[in-house]
Every structure is written in structure tokens, then in C-alpha cells.
Chains A and B, each alone.
Chain A
């Protein structure tokens, strides 16, 4: 997989070039860091499952970005209402459908393939944002608890315990049933927020009620997500903080926050990065499960889990194609992230580190 390594190397040097332009001498100052990144890129390109996972994630990312733009059918037009000849047909698969959509239609006569493009944007945005908000919250609290110790640790860990003991799905369900009405009011009043979130999810502004439902799933999932990170980060922070370099940082009079983020965080981050990658897959499935239970957005939003639950009413006679296609789409997305996480775990594992370094140096020499 030479091309992967070359492409990643180009990206690294492109980034380094930008930093060099911004502040002179960045490359010479950070040469060891660049070397480290190159090593990681090399290790990644040597792991076939990682490359496959990366390609899947890349495809999903591209489809999520351009999906709602290239989708050829508006999700808010119900064909069975508009078109008389459709009335008794959907959900149907191609030979019996008029217009021959590739993967059949759902119960409103909409093309499933076109709808799934909207759905992918929604699930991608939700899963990424949940992890990007939930993980930092957990990381900060975990670092603080581990580093400060004493009463701070005790209080933060008790709070974490409370949230861990809470049934996750129940908390999420409760939030998803409490928040939408309030968020709806906020979105109704604020047109900037409304258009921002509408374009983020690839929906129309008129659906602000559904956007509120999506946002409340966000909140609910972030609340469910952070305690796991806090627990793990605290554990590793406890062992790292006893090391001499932290002592030195303290003695040189650095502030707590700068010790936390510049010295403690880089030493505990690798298992967290792996966990975040796996969690994006879990979050995708969790969000789909919430909308499957009817707690997410409602009509006409084509959310993947919601569409599967509607297809379930006609299962298996008329809608097995919808369940199969959307189910495999969710499987595809989650497998991509899981494979990537597997590869990252191998790359960031210090035990396999020396072997990779050795191979890397040997190949560099061969190349000259």
C-alpha cells in the first residue's frame, strides 16, 4: 500500500509547510514530531484492515458531505400523495415500481437510495459531534480528577459514578422526550441558529421542529458518553502524574492547566483516540436505535433508524429491501470506523512500536 503512505506523507508535509509559513523555523523545531507522524503513516499503510477502514470512512464522509446536494429527490415530497398512479404501490421494489428506482421505494413512494443520502448526512453529523463533544468533556474532568486528587477527585468520580450507574438508553430517552419542545422554541426565535443547523443536517429550515429533535438526541448522547472517558483518563492520569517530568513541570512553576494539557494529556491520549474511533461506530448505531424507538425526528425526515422502523410495519412481504439496504448501510458505516479503530490500536500500541520503527528505518535505507 505504497500510495497510502505517499499520500499521507504529502498531507503531513503540506501541513508542515503551512506552519512554516506562519512561523519561520517551525519545521526544524518540530522535526522529531514530523518524523513521528511519518512513522505513524508508515505503520498505517502497512495495515490492510486499517486502509480498508480508512477508505470506507472516507467514502462515508464524502457521501455525507455531498449527499443532500446530489440527492435527486426532495425528501419532503410524498409521491403517493402527488401521483395518483402510485397510490397502492409503495413500498415496492423495482420491477413493480413505476419509474424504476434502483433500490425500490419506501412507504411514501420516495426513492430509498436518494433518501439514504440525506440519512447518511444526519447520522454522520450526529455520531461525529457526539464523540467530539462528549470525549473532551470526559477527558478534561478525568485529567482534573486524576491530577488534583483528594476532594476534587472524590466529587468528580462520585458524579461520574452516578452517570455510569444511570441506564444509558433511559437517560437518552428521557432527554429526547424532554428537550425538543424547549429547543424548538429557541430555534423558532433565532433564525441564524435555525439556518446553521438546517444546513448542517442537510434539511430544510421549515423542519426546525425535527432539527430540535435531532439536537436533543445530541445532548442526550453527549450526557451518556462522557463518563466512560472520565473514568479511563483518570486512571491513566493517576499513573502518569507520579512521573518525574510532571514533578519537574510543577517545580518550574507551570500553571495547572498547562501541565494538564501540555504534559499530562499527550501521555494519556493514545488509548482515548482508539476509543473515540470505536465510539463513533457505537454512536452511529445508538442514534439509529433511538430513532428506531421513535424518539428521534419524525416525518418527513429520512433518518436511517426511523426509516427501518417504518419499514418494519411492512416486513417482510413488501419492505425487506428497505431493511436490508438501510441495515447494510449502517453496518458499512460502523464497520469502517471499527476497522480504523482496530488499526489505530495496533499503531499506537507501544509494544509493537520498536518493530515498526525498525522496519521503517530499513525501508528508508533501501529507498536511499
Chain B
């Protein structure tokens, strides 16, 4: 297990460098002048442009620029040239929001996908099964933005059960408490403070549960949308892998031995988990990387929108930092899924 982890961690390094290099080369190949796009009309004069060029080493050859950017990225000094703030401060606050959306969306995904999948497996080849099949088909064939529009129409315009501006935040007193935690509690404090970057978690730690409720009220619409789009697909996976497991020989053996129905199901469910966990894990990873279209339509200031805006303004430092983050998430999620395999299925050993 340890050597497996070490090997995987070593292969991370070339992948991450490759991702950074490609991002940079794409950015470098853009024919437009990024500095002009950053500055805007008001401050546009030769001295300012020259100052920014020197600050970001635009006059140096490309590999020097690249090394400079990577250095700043790894030491955490990278600055957002449009907002004049540290990229990491921006990313932490926006990533917190994306994590909230991902959690709410994931809850809906599980709540819709798994029960439907179990139902479809139990009532195999009936109307229920057929309905789940149709739902999976429509979910994978419907353009996401059209569904978003109609959910907004239904739940925001007509029934007014949610709102589409801002993200609920805990009180300032609570934020301060969470931010000074590392000084009070040695190790756990750092962890708690890192988790506190997600507004919902910070509110939970301070006991401000009205903020948590508000967060769900604000975000249940995008969550429901994401759950509806992928829920049918998850249900299909649950159904198929459960049916596969139920038709395996050890189940027949169990039944022949006279096991109770409940424990037969327990064995089948455990064996059906492996593919389900993979798909759910990858889905969560996808949600964490920011659902760009959902964030745009539902007006959520998350990491996806930040990336999109950065690309539109040729904001390379931000693009590089965000791509790095998304790549790290992708690799980590894959690793976690691989480890979960071994946890669920004792036959798999690394």
C-alpha cells in the first residue's frame, strides 16, 4: 500500500508540470496583448503598461516567464492583475463556494440516484425500471442550460422558494474565531481553519445554523439541477451492478444454504458498491472542479466562473492557478477512488 501510494505520488509530478506547461503555452500563443486587457481604458498609459510588463517579466523569454510564474505559484505570491489581490485569497474564498455547491449537488445526486437505482433493480423490467431508464436517457441528452432555465422559472420566478444573488456568510465574529483557531489548538486548529474557508462549515463550527439553512435555501436549486441531470445515470449504474451481483454464484450458494433474505441482499449490495463508488467519486471530483455553466446561469461566485472570467480577460496568473487546482483535484479524486476500491473490496490489494 505504501509503495503504491509513493509510486502514484511520484507520477503526479510530471502530470502537474505538463498541465502547467500546456496552460502557459496556450496563454503564450494568444496573439492579443494581455496587459492591455488587464489594465482597462482608464489607466491605459505607456508607463503603467511598462510597469506591469516588468512586474510579470513580459520582456523576458518564455521559459523565464514560465519559471517565474511557477515559482510564484508554489510560493503562494501570485497576484491577480485585474483585482490586485493575491490569487490564493481569491481562490480560497471562491473554492469554498464551489465546495458548498458540490456538497449540495452531491447530496441531491445520492438522494435521487441510489434509491431510484435500487427500486429499478427490485422492480426489474417493470414500469419503474422503464421510468428510471427514460430519466437517465433524458438526463444525458438534455442540454444542461435549458433545464436550468426551466428550474429557475419554476422555483424562482413562480414559487419564489429560493433566490439567485449572493452566498450566505457567517457573522464576522464567527469568521474571526475560526481564523484564530490555529493559534489556540495546535494541529486540529489548522485543519478546522482550513475547513472554515467554506462558509457553511464555519457557520456550523460557530453554531450559526440559520446560515447553514440559508445556504441550503440558496443552493438547493443548482443542487437539484445537477442531481436531476446525473441522477438517472447513477441510478442505472446502481441497478446494473446490483443485478450483476445478484446473479453471481455466491448469491445462489447463499440462498441454497438458507441465508435470510436480508443478509443475501447485504452481500449483494457490498459487491455492487465498487462501480458505484467509482462513478460517484468521479462525479464529486467533477463538481469540485466547478460547474461553469451552472455557476454562470445561477449566478454563483465559484471557481468555475472565476476561471471563465479569467480566460475572457486573458488573466494568465489566475488561469494557471485555477488549472493547477483543478488538475490537483482530478488526480487526488482518482487516487482516493483507487484507495476506496481496496477498502470496499478485500480482493484488491496494492
Is the C-beta of B65 less than 8 angstroms from some C-beta in chain A? no
Within 8 A of B (CB), among A145-190: 158-159, 161-162, 164-167, 169-171, 173-175, 177-178, 181-182
Task: Flag if A166 contacts B323 (CB, 8 Å).
Answer: yes
Whether the Cβ atoms of B327 and A165 lie closer than 8 Å is yes
The answer to whether A173 touches B143 (Cβ under 8 A) is no
Q: Mark B11-40, 1 if CB is under 8 A from A, else 0.
A: 100111011001100110111100000000
Verify if B194 is at the interface (C-beta below 8 Å from A): no
B104: CB under 8 A from chain A? no
Among A7-15, A124-132, A207-215, A285-293, which stretch is in contact with chain B?
A285-293
Q: Which residues of A contact B289 (CB under 8 A)?
A: 167
B19 cross-chain contacts in A, Cβ below 8 A: 162, 165-166
| B319 lies within 8 A of chain A by Cβ | yes
Q: Is the CB of A330 within 8 A of B146?
A: yes
CA distance A158 to B144 in the complex (A): 32
Q: A162-B18, A293-B293 are in contact. Are A178 and B29 (CB under 8 A)?
A: yes
Give the number of chain B interface residues (Cβ < 8 Å): 44
CB of A170 within 8 A of CB of B323, answer yes
Alpha-carbon distance between A317 and B76 when the two chains are bound, in angstroms: 48
B157 touching A316 by the CB < 8 A rule?
yes
Instruction: Confirm or deny: B123 has a beta carbon within 8 angstroms of a beta carbon on chain A.
Output: no
Across the interface, do A162 and B137 meet the contact criterion of CB distance under 8 Å?
A: no
A170 to B308, CA, bound (A): 8
CB <8 Å contact, B15 and A165: yes
Is A305 a contact partner of B319 (Cβ separation < 8 A)? Answer: no
Interface presence of B246 (CB below 8 A): no
- Tell whether A289 pairs with B140 under 8 Å between CB atoms, given A170-B326, A177-B311: no
Q: Which residues of B contact A305 (CB under 8 A)?
A: 143, 145
Q: Does A17 contact B (CB under 8 A)?
A: no
Docked-complex contact B327 and A178, CB < 8 angstroms: no
Q: For the complex, what is the distance from the CA of A285 to the CA of B143, rounded to whole Å?
A: 6
Interface residue A281 (Cβ < 8 Å from any Cβ of B): yes
Tell me whether A335 and B138 are in contact (CB under 8 A): yes
B331 proximal to A (CB < 8 A)? yes
Cross-interface CB contact of A281 among B32, B141, B144, B296, cutoff 8 Å: B141
The interface bits of chain B over 128-164 (1 if a CB of A lies within 8 angstroms of the residue's CB, else 0) are: 0000000001101111111001100100010000000
Indicate if the CB atoms of B308 and A173 lie closer than 8 Å: yes
Residues of chain A within 8 A of B30, CB atoms compared:
177-178
Interface of B is mostly: helix
Interface size of A in residues (CB-CB distance below 8 Å)? 40
The yes or no answer to A331 lying at the interface (CB within 8 A) is yes
* A293 adjacent to B15 (CB under 8 Å): no
Closest B residue to A316 by beta carbon equals B153
For residue A339, CB closer than 8 A to chain B, the reply is yes
Given contacts A182-B31, A331-B141, contact A174 B146 (CB under 8 A): no
Report if A309 contacts B (CB, 8 A). Answer: yes
- Which B residues are CB-close (under 8 A) to A334? 140-143
A-contact bits for B300-324, CB 8 A (1 contact / 0 none): 0000000110011010000100110
Instruction: Indicate whether B330 reaches chain A with its CB closer than 8 angstroms.
Output: yes
**A293-340 residues at the B interface, CB under 8 angstroms:** 293, 305, 308-309, 312, 315-316, 320, 323, 327, 330-331, 334-335, 338-339
Give bound CA distance, A335 to B54, whole Å: 53
Interface string of A331-358 (1 = CB under 8 A from B): 1001100110000000000000000000
On whether A162 and B146 interact (CB within 8 A), knowing A178-B29, A178-B30, A335-B137, the answer reads no
Alpha-carbon separation in the docked complex, A170 to B289 (Å):
10
Enumerate chain A residues within 8 angstroms of B312, measured Cβ to Cβ.
177
**Chain B interface residues (CB < 8 Å from chain A):** 11, 14-16, 18-19, 22-23, 26-27, 29-32, 137-138, 140-146, 149-150, 153, 157, 289-290, 292-293, 296, 307-308, 311-312, 314, 319, 322-323, 326-327, 330-331
**A residues engaging B (CB < 8 A)?**
158-159, 161-162, 164-167, 169-171, 173-175, 177-178, 181-182, 281-282, 285, 288-289, 292-293, 305, 308-309, 312, 315-316, 320, 323, 327, 330-331, 334-335, 338-339
- List 14 additional A-B contacts (Cβ < 8 Å) besides A167-B307, A334-B140: A159-B18, A162-B22, A167-B323, A169-B292, A170-B322, A173-B308, A178-B31, A285-B144, A293-B308, A309-B145, A316-B149, A327-B149, A334-B142, A338-B141
Name the 9 nearest CB pairs between A and B, nearest first: A327-B146, A334-B141, A162-B18, A165-B327, A167-B326, A335-B141, A165-B330, A330-B143, A161-B15
